[in-house]
Every structure is written in C-alpha cells, then in structure tokens.
Amino acid sequence: MFTYETSVKLHDTDAAGLLFFAHQFTLAHDAYELFMESIGESFDKIINRSDYLLAIVHAEADFKKPLFSGDHLTINLTPQHLGNTSFTLIYDLRNTDGVSVGTVRTVHVCIDKQTRKKKPLPEELRKALLGRHQ
C-alpha cells in the first residue's frame, strides 16, 4: 500500500464548502503520480523515454462522507489487479479521524505510443507493481 497525505483546498470545494465530486478523481490522480514515482516509473520517464503510455480506461468513485476545505486527507493506494496489459488501483480516502470518506477505482491499460494499441505491460513496470500488490 502507498500512502499520500494532503488537505482539501478551497478550490477543491463547491459553493457549500464541500469537496466537489470531480475533485475526488484529481486527488486520487495526485496520489497515482506520486505512487508511480515511488516505484521508479515517473511520468517523465514514461512520456519522454518509453515506447508505451498508460491510459486510464475506467474510473469510478464512491462518496461516503463529506469533506470540507481544510480537512486533512490520507489516501491509501493499493494495486488490486495485475493483468497482461492492464492493472487496477484502489484508492481509499480517509479523513483526519481515519474514517473512510470515499473510494476511487481506476483501470489502466498499457498502449503502444505509436499505434495506440494495447501491449503487454513492460516487465520492469510489472515487477514494480507486483512488489506493491503482494
């Protein structure tokens, strides 16, 4: 499991001061970027020095409790599934009290940069994800 800590910013909220629903995905994506860096697969490396990209082909979120501007937030990211060409990540968002306030699930598919067709996950990425999946 990878843990990312942040806080809810004013610009993350709606007029009622509640976390705007789409920003749950933004917060999860921030955790995803840092997770990838932590396993040696930064987006700079992927975008500028590899022959593949990782497309998010599915994303879903559940909201359990409201979050407000200034609330501390811990996001626990866990690889859930590792396939030949894809992987799934689960994000558990917890408030200051450690209560789960939401979840996000994303499915990522490896595609060839030139053809944009699915291709097997690179072995280095597979090993890094497996290290976090066990």
**Site of tokens 């799934």:** 88
The string of DSSP letters for 20-55 reads PTTHHHHHHHHHHHHHHHHTT--HHHHHHH-SEEEE
Give the C-alpha separation, 91 to 17, whole Å: 23
Find the distance separating the first CA and the last CA of the chain, reported in whole Å.
9
Residue 14 is a catalytic residue: yes
Task: Give residue-wise pLDDT tens across range 77-131.
Answer: 999 999 999 999 999 999 989 999 999 999 999 999 999 999 999 999 999 998 8
Note whether 5 and 72 are within 8 A (CB): yes
Tokens encoding 106 = 């994303």
What is the average per-residue pLDDT within 46-70? 93
Structural domain harbouring 56: 2-133
Which member of 14, 30, 62, 112 is catalytic? 14
Q: How far apart are CA 132 and CA 79, in angstroms?
A: 7
Q: How many domains, in total, are found in the chain?
A: 1
**pLDDT value of residue 16:** 82
107: nearest Cα among 75, 133, 81: 81
pLDDT of residue 134: 52
CATH classification of the domain holding 19: 3.10.129.10
Neighbours of 82 (CB within 10 A): 15
pLDDT of residue 15: 83
pLDDT at 26 over 80: yes
